[in-house]
Amino acid sequence: MKIIPNESLKRSLIRKYFRETRKVLVKVRQEVIAQAEHSSPEQLKTMIPYLLNRQVMSDHLVKIWEDVGSRFAFDTEKKITRGKQKSKADDEAKLADWKRKLRAYASERSLIKAQAILTTEQEAINKVIDAVIKETLDEGLGILETRKLLLHDLEGEEMLTMEKWQAQRIAMTEVGGAQNTASFEAAQENSEGVKKFWMFIPGLKTYRENHQEFEAMGSQEMDYEYEPGLQYPGDENGAAEEVINCYCSIGYDTGN
């Protein structure tokens, strides 16, 4: 029996967390905006690492993994075991158990991952600030005019556009990673007679030919590595270039 993940649900969750991630990125830089009214562009640049709210992003990542991961882990396990948890209470208990597992897993990695995201956010903010500095010098603006321009641009379209693409990358990577990691863990726990197969799904901005080749390989043993450290799409033990913005999924063959 082939076990295929719910791709419609995956797309829906990516859209959901794309919207939520954009809001989170705005919260992450709230203190930067507040300080812009009282600082020169040069001063603000030195303060950004201390103003960005890492905890907000960390909590957001944990939420994604707990929500997305538990759904796909539960669904995978139930299909492999053919619903041996017969009562609604059994199902609810198993889903709650997966939520605890995924929350614990995500909590261990979220602060580190959040810091990497904030580094990208800092680069985006610095790009806006550098443009303000250049315009200030070109136009000979005074202190008050410069601060007004700084505040305007940090809330402006360029900043929002950069955050849009960042939110898209985060949503695709984190939802896909949570889906495939949790699904794989569930299959590993019930792995007798189970094989896996790569499902190539090109993303909005990615088309990796080697991922298409992985799909053509068909079913493989559960411990097979497609690339060093890469046992499934989104596997964080694999190289970053194989994981970021990867839209592929992992499926399973029970042989029945």
Angle at 187 between CA 224 and CA 92, to 5 degrees: 160
pLDDT digits (tens, 9 = 90+) for 72-96: 999 999 999 886 656 788 888 999 9
With beta carbons less than 8 A apart as the criterion, state whether 36 and 151 touch: yes
pLDDT at res. 65: 97
pTM of the model: 0.91
pLDDT at res. 240: 87
**Is residue 144 in some structural domain?**
yes
Angle at 166 between CA 58 and CA 15, to 5 degrees: 85
pLDDT band at residue 206 under the 50/70/90 scheme: low
The separation between the first and the last C-alpha atoms of the chain, rounded to the nearest angstrom, is: 5
SS3 110: helix
Instruction: Categorise residue 103: left if φ over 0, alpha if ψ from -120 to 50, beta otherwise.
Output: alpha
pLDDT at res. 152: 94
**Is residue 216 in some structural domain?**
no
Per-residue pLDDT averaged across 218-239, rounded?
94
Q: What percent of the chain has pLDDT over 90?
A: 81
Given a cut of 70, whether residue 38 has pLDDT beyond it is yes
**Is residue 93 in some structural domain?**
yes
Reported in sequence order, the residue ranges of 46-114 that DSSP labels E, i.e. its strands, are none
pLDDT at res. 86: 67
**Is residue 57 in some structural domain?**
yes
State the CB neighbour count (10 A cutoff) for residue 72. 28
**Is residue 123 in some structural domain?**
yes
Per-residue pLDDT averaged across 102-131, rounded?
94
**Is residue 241 in some structural domain?**
no
Given a cut of 80, whether residue 207 has pLDDT beyond it is no
pLDDT at res. 205: 61
**Is residue 244 in some structural domain?**
no
How many angstroms separate the CA atoms of 245 and 167, rounded? 11
Structural domain that includes position 46: 2-192
How many angstroms separate the CA atoms of 58 and 107, rounded? 8
How many angstroms separate the CA atoms of 198 and 211, rounded? 8
Edge-to-edge strands of the sheet including 195-199?
2-3, 249-253, 195-199
pLDDT digits (tens, 9 = 90+) for 57-67: 999 999 999 99
Per-residue pLDDT averaged across 233-250, rounded?
90
Number of structural domains (the chain) is: 1
**Is residue 25 in some structural domain?**
yes
